[in-house]
Every structure is written in structure tokens, then in C-alpha cells.
Amino acid sequence: MLFSLQNVTKTYGAVTALRQLSVDVPTGAVGLLGPNGAGKTTLIRTLLGLIKINAGTGKVLDMDVRRQRLKIRQAVGFAPEDECLFPGVAGIDFAAYAGQLCGMSRSDALQRAHEILNHVGLGEARYRPVDSYSTGMKQRLKLASALVHDPRLLILDEPTNGMDPAGRQEILELARDLAHGKEMSVLFSSHLLPDVEFVCDYVIVLGQGRLLAQGEIRELKQRHDQCFEVRVKADAPAFAQRLRKSNCNVKEQDHSLLVQLPPGQSERLLWSLAAEAGQQIRHLRPQQSTLEEIFLKAIE
């Protein structure tokens, strides 16, 4: 288990950031979704042992979030969303410093920092002061600093913010590679659902401090056998009317119809009704939810 929380509540004065949150998350690449104020940052801080929770218990990598905070932070790498690079330090020194803060000797940290900076694609720029870096370079450096001590869990908070498409794709591929090829768990928090979908296999959706949905993305996006997306050549509203008369639940979309068949029926009903109405079906496929739909449905 990557982490597991039971009835965790965290309040900041009158604001309740997490409400009796209980969640068990398996190892691997996990996406963390939720609208603003859903409690994502508080959840991350709880996992890192940076905050004291008001109630509940939790474990990260089998370590208690209340009692083993330093051990958790030793095993976790965190790349925060905010800019946190202080000026006057070269990129290589910054990454090495992050390693030293985790207990690496100076020489080890320097050697490891070079390896990781190579990996994240920060080439000769590593010798430049960080205050001269572009946003994309800063994101890479933050990722390198989080990776330098070889954590078991990597927490990335909006890692592709401000990156150009090519850089974004590189970071996503790196994160995916770490999660799928290097036996490192990744908790990926982002507003960009395609990014989460690209990197993660598992997703949890938070809203107002509660768990709204969780599960394997593949399963959440499962095909709906009784629900079809249908596009006809001619009068779609008339065909929809005809379908409704046959007890189908029809939702008209811009260029297609979303049809839910009555129980016990198959897509043959659609073909027969189209033949009776003299309509040509140009497009017919079982409906499959997108991550966006899952997300929107969850926060409704």
C-alpha cells in the first residue's frame, strides 16, 4: 500500500480542509484530482508529515504519519508547486544541497545531482544561477531536487505548470518512466487531466475535503454496454423521438445522440429502428467515459 488514511480530519480555524477522509491507495502512479480548495495540498502535507492532523490515523509506505515524520520525508521526494528556489546558487549546487539536506555526503550529493540533472534534461544550464532559469528549467530543477535522494514515493504538485508543450511532454514521460519502469511510486497532482491520464494508472478525486471517487483509471473509463453514441445522416431529432417511443433514454448532443437502451436490449434495436425510420446510421460506438467526465461527475 502506498498510503492509507482513516478518518483523517484537518481544520484550519473555521475551515475544514479534510473531512474524515479515509482512503487506501496502492503503489504505482496515482493521480490526485480535485477542484481548488478540495484539500489536495493539505493531503500532500499530511502525507509528508508536515502538518498535525486533528483526528484520524494514517500510514505512508507503512510509516505512521504522526510518529514517523522524518522517516517518511526521507523516503519521499516532493516537488512543490510554488517557486522555492533562492537566488545566487547554481542549479547543480541547488540539487546537491537538496541531497545533503537528506543526509548525503557532499561528494555523493554532487555526483548524484549531476546524474539526476542529466536525467531531467538540464544540460549546461546547471552551472548557471537559478535566478536566470526559465519556468521550465525551474520545474526540471525542482524535479531533480526531489529525486536526488532516490525516494520511494515522488510527489509532484503541478509539475508541468508553465512549461512549453515539448518540455511538458518530456516531464510527463519522465514521470511515467519513473512510475512504470523504475519501481518508484508517483503521486501526481494536476489540474491538467490529460497529464494525469498519461502518467497515472490510478486516480483519487477529492472535493471539499472528502473522497469523491477513486480507482484504476482503466476501470473508471470502462465501456458502458447499454449506452451508445449514435450519429445519423438525416433528421436526428425525429430519430431521437422514435427511440424514446421504444423506451430508450436519449440525450441529444451537438452532432450525435447518446442513447441508453432499455434493459435486455442490444444494439440490434438501434439498427432495426433506423431501418424502420429510413435513417442511415453513420456512427455507432459504445460510450466510454473520459477522465474529464469522471472528474466532473465526481464533483457534481
Partner 1 sequence: MPIFDQGYQHWKGKLTGHAWRWLAITRQGLRVQLKGRYVRLLLVLAWMPAMALVSALAIWGLIEQGVLGADLVTMLKSQGVVDDLQSLRQAIWTIAYSLFFKVELYFILLLVTLTGPNLISLDLRYNALPLYLSRPITRLDYFLGKLGVIAVLVAAVAVLPTMAAYLLGVCFSLDLTVVRDTWRLLPASILYGLVIVVSAGTLMLALSSMSRRSLYVGLTWVGLCVISWMVAGVLGLVRLESLDNQVAREAEAAQRDKAQQELERVRQRPKDDSQEFDEMDFTQPLEESDASPVPPQPPVLPPRKRPGQSRRFDWQERQRLVHQEDVKSRKTNWRPLFSYADNIDRLGAALLGTDAAWVQIGRVYERRRVQVESMAGISPGGWSNNYNYKAEPANERCLAELWNVPQYPWTWSAAVLAGLLGLSLCILSTRVRSLDRLR
- Residue numbers of the site for partner 1 (CB under 8 A)? 12, 15, 17, 45, 48, 50-52, 70-71, 73-74, 76, 78, 80, 82-89, 93, 97-98, 100-106, 108, 112, 115-116, 118-119, 145, 147, 149-150, 174, 177-178, 181-182
DSSP for 204-267, written as a single string: EEEETTEEEEEEEHHHHT-EEEEEEEEEESS-HHHHHHHHHHTT-EEEE-SSSEEEEPPTT--T
Considering the complex, what minimum distance in angstroms separates the CB of residue 234 from partner 1? 54
CA distances from 17 to 88, 130, 266, 298 (A): 36, 34, 46, 18
Taken as a whole, the chain contains a residue count of 300
Nearer CB in complex with partner 1: 133/239: 133
Nearer CB in complex with partner 1: 131/235: 131
Nearer CB in complex with partner 1: 182/285: 182
Considering the complex, what minimum distance in angstroms separates the CB of residue 51 from partner 1? 4
In whole angstroms, give the CA distance from residue 121 to residue 171: 9
Considering the complex, what minimum distance in angstroms separates the CB of residue 30 from partner 1? 18
Work out the burial of residue 292: count CB atoms within 10 Å of its CB; fewer than 13 is exposed, 13-18 middle, 19 or more buried. exposed
Nearer CB in complex with partner 1: 118/288: 118
Nearer CB in complex with partner 1: 115/225: 115
Considering the complex, what minimum distance in angstroms separates the CB of residue 122 from partner 1? 13
Considering the complex, what minimum distance in angstroms separates the CB of residue 115 from partner 1? 6
**Dihedral over Cα of 64, 70, 76, 81: its sign:** positive
Which residues, in sequence order, are bridge partners of residue 211? 206
